[in-house]
Amino acid sequence: MSFARPFLLAALLLWTGDLVAQVRSVATSDVFSRYADRVVKIQVVETGSAAKATIGSGFFVSGSGHLITNYHVISKLIHDPDRYRAELIDVAGAVEPVEVLGVDVVHDLAVLGSALRPRAHFALGSVRIAQGNRLYSLGHPEDLGLSIVEGTYNGLLPHTRHPRIHFTGSLNPGMSGGPTIAEDGRVVGINVATAGNQLSFLVPVDRAETLLDGVLTPGDEPPARTLEEVGRQLRDHQDAYLRDMFAGNTKMVDLGPYRLVTEPAPFFRCWADASRRQELPYEKVQHHCSTDDYLFIAGDQSTGVIDVEHEMISTKKLNASQFFSLYSSVFANDNTPGGQEEHVTSWACGTRNVRNASLPMRAVLCLRRYRKLGELYDGVLKVAVLGREDSGLVSTLTMSGVTFENVDRLARRYLERISWR
């Protein structure tokens, strides 16, 4: 009898586990059967060849055929409307053309219109949900057919300029633009990106609700749906978040004899490390701050990132001539990002000696212009502090998708902040 009770307990636990798995499986299948007909595949087709250029997902949000998807799903159509067309494929396999009615490039969203009148659609509205609650993502992963993915809600990411929900579930390419919902069908977010290993991200539903409201009740300025208006959204956005950067009470960090900018805003994350190897005649300390999020423009172009990098080099073994040679080679490294000629011009750079209130510097400023998005630029400011024979600092500020006025303003503020301790 002493062995019977543990045996019965183990059997009961196994049986209970099987029941839980069955209930969860039934719940997931129920969610899929109730809401699958509201989700479609979105594909952008190259008109000359009739071949699919990109695919994604979308979902109905009105009885009049309006759909939500990601901006990046239909971006080719925005960039080249004469070359591409967009269409949806519903659960029955019917193909219908769609048109872009509005985009929000900052939050990677788009509203599409179609002639279909769906039997049912999702209602967008404010959602309150606790961390750890189970969610269900719907979409077309890798063009393999409509699928459902279980995951959990883990709240908003803490270090982002644009709100993103952390979804612990396996999103895959092709699911972009699909809905992630609670068991009762409330839309919590829109599938937007994944980092693999069940680390995925959603755009909060309230951003889609705002865009849809703008489409359904247009005012004097309807939502952007042309490339020129996308450029205007980007210019307005960068004006807002760069207005006070490197001004006021900017955080500072000490590296050796230098005092420098760090964590320019709460949405930046910073890392640091050092190389101190016995076989090397010098030491390096690196400090790097960057934004985690970026704005998608085209398949090979993103924007909206500000990056700060400091590299301090010091030596007790090299003479002045040897150290100058080492320091010059570090300063000469090319830090300019790549890019295709279709989207950006070549880099143009200028170098000069400058001085702020406390120290002399050698500075190079490089610029390139966006070809299709109005007066937006990428800029790289690289600075080497002068005046010491045993230590040096190379500091780099990288700006993407900013106006020339903001390149000039940020570069000046950045230079002013570099000082001796």
Roughly how many angstroms between the first and final C-alpha of the chain, as a whole number? 78
- Confidence at residue 144, expressed as pLDDT on a 0 to 100 scale: 94
Q: pLDDT digits over 192-203, tens only?
A: 999 888 899 999
- Ranges of beta strands (E only) in 292-411 are 295-298, 301-303, 306-314, 348-355, 360-369, 377-385, 391-402
Q: Are strands 348-355 and 258-261 parallel, antiparallel or unpaired?
A: unpaired
Alpha carbon separation from 40 to 74, 129, 201 (Å, rounded): 14, 26, 20
Proportion of the chain above pLDDT 90, given as a percent: 77
Separation between Cα atoms, residue 405 and residue 85, nearest integer Å: 36
Q: What percent of the chain has pLDDT over 70?
A: 93
Task: Say if residues 66 and 99 touch (Cβ distance below 8 Å).
Answer: no
Give the CA radius of gyration of the chain: 26
Residue 241, SS3 per DSSP: helix
Mean pLDDT of 136-163: 93
Q: Which residue has the tokens 């230098």?
A: 258
Q: Two tokens at 274?
A: 């050092």
For the ranges 65-69, 176-180, 371-375, 412-416, the lowest mean pLDDT is seen at: 371-375
For 398-409, the DSSP string reads EEEEE-HHHHHH
CA distance 331 to 351: 12
Domains with residue ranges and CATH for the chain = 36-225 (2.40.10.120), 234-420 (3.40.1000)
User: Model's pTM, two decimal places?
Assistant: 0.88
306-343 confidence digits (pLDDT tens): 999 999 999 999 999 999 999 999 999 998 998 888 89
Tell me what the mean pLDDT of segment 219-228 comes to: 76
Give the pLDDT band (50/70/90) at residue 78. very high
Residue 344's DSSP bridge partners are 370
Residue owning tokens 């409201």: 213
- Smallest CA-to-CA distance from 34 within 184, 220, 216 is with 184
Return the pLDDT at 1.
46
| CA separation for the pair 367, 321 (Å, rounded) | 32
pLDDT over threshold 90, residue 138: yes
Neighbours of 214 (CB within 10 A): 18
C-alpha pair distances (Å), 297 with each of 32, 227, 288, 344, 373? 32, 10, 25, 12, 10
Residue bearing the bigger pLDDT, 224 or 389: 389
Contact (Cβ atoms closer than 8 angstroms) between residue 105 and residue 233: yes
pLDDT of residue 117: 95
